[in-house]
């Protein structure tokens, strides 16, 4: 939508992981180096963790695009609470093996035969498990058992485990001691710093042939960093909305007041629990004169959002009271205990009684 308006060749801030937008921040470069080291080693486990939206999946896709498929056969799983038996089946499917009507022993035999055949072709097998924090301990142990497959002194399978920070806690469990001994390298991918956040935004714009339209005021980058915490997915979400707002307002210059307004809109939509979307407004306490600062832009937006919610609540209450009036006006005299007070109380409390009863 806004790509045409700003004459961009593509979507610069899409949320789906795209290796063509890979940005080599300090953290991402280091994590990438660990993964490449793991491929070179060809054995054991490499563990990469990071917060939601830190760019782990983009990192993996950038890696797989670099792999020489004549030497490395990569299979990827996105685990969703896989237990041991489910994991074996998922691994077999990821490597293109038929699994219909196979028991566990037959499945293991098929996997070992396939991995051995790759060695005969002078190729190695790499298993990448994304969202690995969802694996059960039994599934983790099954992965370790798969790492026992060998031809002479060569391991038949290498595994990368990638997941959220809780993966590190899971792997500290006493039942996974043997797996921990097979970890050749691990790294935690943290958020980008403020300078990297700015460089990341410019990098993505340049990837879609941005020619300076819209112009970006330097004042937008501090609140962008504060709101996103330096996490790529959050940066993308904010910048995508920011450019959409610029397009809808037909603006060719994006400034502090625009990002402040965008952050307030996103906070109101997502809810107060999304603390990263609360804008930092150091000048919002300034006098309400004709200064035209960002605080003067944000206050009306907040007031409008609150007013709209109050209007909807008042309409709901009015509707409920009107229904109550109609019910009570037609109620027979011998109708038993009056229900109007309870119904009216329910309407006053938005359909729920104060003590939690419906």
pLDDT of residue 320: 57
pLDDT tens profile 86-135: 889 999 999 999 888 888 899 999 999 999 999 999 999 999 999 999 99
Of 288 and 277, the one with more pLDDT:
277
pLDDT tens profile 326-357: 655 555 544 444 444 444 444 444 444 444 33
65 pLDDT band, cuts 50/70/90, is very high
pLDDT of residue 10: 95
Q: What is the pTM of this model?
A: 0.72
pLDDT tens profile 19-37: 999 999 999 999 999 999 9
- Whether 2 shows a pLDDT value over 90: the answer reads yes
pLDDT tens profile 223-263: 999 999 999 999 999 999 999 999 999 999 999 999 999 99
Among the residue ranges 63-77, 282-296, 310-324, the one predicted with the least confidence is: 282-296
Burial class (CB in 10 A: 0-12, 13-18, 19+), 127: buried
* Contacts with 9 (C-beta within 8 Å, 6 or more apart), sequence order: 3, 208, 209
pLDDT of residue 326: 60
**What distance in Å separates the CA atoms of residue 318 and residue 154, rounded to the nearest whole number?**
76
Nearest Cα neighbor of 224 from 188, 258, 190 is 258
pLDDT tens profile 191-220: 999 999 999 999 999 999 999 999 999 999
**What distance in Å separates the CA atoms of residue 234 and residue 259, rounded to the nearest whole number?**
14
pLDDT of residue 104: 87
- Whether 156 shows a pLDDT value over 80: the answer reads yes
State residue 355 phi and psi, 5-degree precision: -85, 5
pLDDT above 90 as % of the chain: 57
| Average pLDDT estimate for 298-312 | 42
- Whether 278 shows a pLDDT value over 50: the answer reads no
82 pLDDT band, cuts 50/70/90, is confident
Cα 182 to Cα 39, 43, 238: the distances in Å are: 15, 9, 40
- Report the chain's mean pLDDT, rounded to a whole number: 81
**What distance in Å separates the CA atoms of residue 126 and residue 73, rounded to the nearest whole number?**
6
- Whether 288 shows a pLDDT value over 90: the answer reads no
pLDDT above 70 as % of the chain: 75
Nearest Cα neighbor of 102 from 74, 128, 94, 93 is 93
- Whether 295 shows a pLDDT value over 50: the answer reads no
Q: Any idea which architecture 26-189 has in CATH? A: 3-Layer(aba) Sandwich (3.40)
- Burial pattern 312-339, b for ≥16 Cβ within 10 A else e, equals eeeeebeebeeebeeeeeeeeeeeeeee
What are the boundaries of each domain within the chain?
2-13+193-280, 26-189, 286-358
């Amino acid at each position: 939508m806004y790509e045409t308006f700003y004459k961009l060749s593509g979507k610069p801030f899409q949320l789906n992981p795209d290796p063509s937008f890979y940005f080599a921040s300090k953290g991402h470069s280091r994590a990438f180096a660990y993964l490449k080291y793991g491929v070179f080693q060809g054995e054991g486990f490499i563990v990469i963790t990071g917060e939601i939206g830190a760019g782990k999946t983009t990192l993996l896709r950038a890696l797989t695009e670099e792999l020489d498929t004549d030497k490395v056969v990569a299979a990827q799983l996105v685990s969703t609470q896989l237990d041991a038996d489910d994991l074996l089946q998922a691994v077999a499917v990821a490597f293109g093996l038929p699994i219909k009507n196979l028991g566990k022993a037959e499945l293991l035999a098929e996997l070992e035969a396939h991995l051995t055949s790759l060695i005969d072709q002078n190729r190695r097998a790499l298993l990448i498990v994304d969202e690995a924090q969802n694996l059960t301990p039994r599934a983790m142990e099954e992965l370790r058992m798969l790492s026992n497959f060998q031809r002479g002194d060569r391991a038949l399978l290498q595994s990368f485990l990638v997941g959220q920070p809780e993966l590190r806690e899971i792997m500290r469990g006493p039942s996974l001691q043997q797996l921990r001994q097979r970890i050749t390298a691990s790294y935690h991918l943290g958020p980008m710093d403020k300078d990297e956040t700015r460089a990341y935004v410019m990098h993505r714009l340049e990837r879609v042939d941005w020619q300076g339209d819209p112009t970006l005021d330097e004042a937008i980058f501090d609140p962008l960093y504060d709101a996103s915490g330096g996490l790529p997915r959050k940066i993308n979400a904010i910048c995508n909305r920011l450019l959409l707002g610029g397009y809808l307002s037909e603006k060719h210059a994006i400034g502090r007041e625009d990002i402040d307004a965008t952050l307030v809109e996103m906070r109101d939509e997502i809810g107060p629990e999304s603390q990263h979307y609360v804008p930092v407004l150091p000048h919002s306490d300034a006098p309400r004169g004709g200064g035209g600062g960002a605080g003067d832009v944000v206050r009306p937006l907040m007031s409008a959002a609150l007013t709209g919610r109050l209007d909807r609540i008042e309409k709901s209450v009015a509707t409920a009271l009107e229904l109550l009036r109609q019910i009570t006006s037609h109620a027979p005299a011998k109708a038993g205990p009056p229900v109007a007070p309870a119904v009216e109380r329910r309407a006053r409390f938005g359909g729920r009684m104060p003590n939690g009863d419906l």
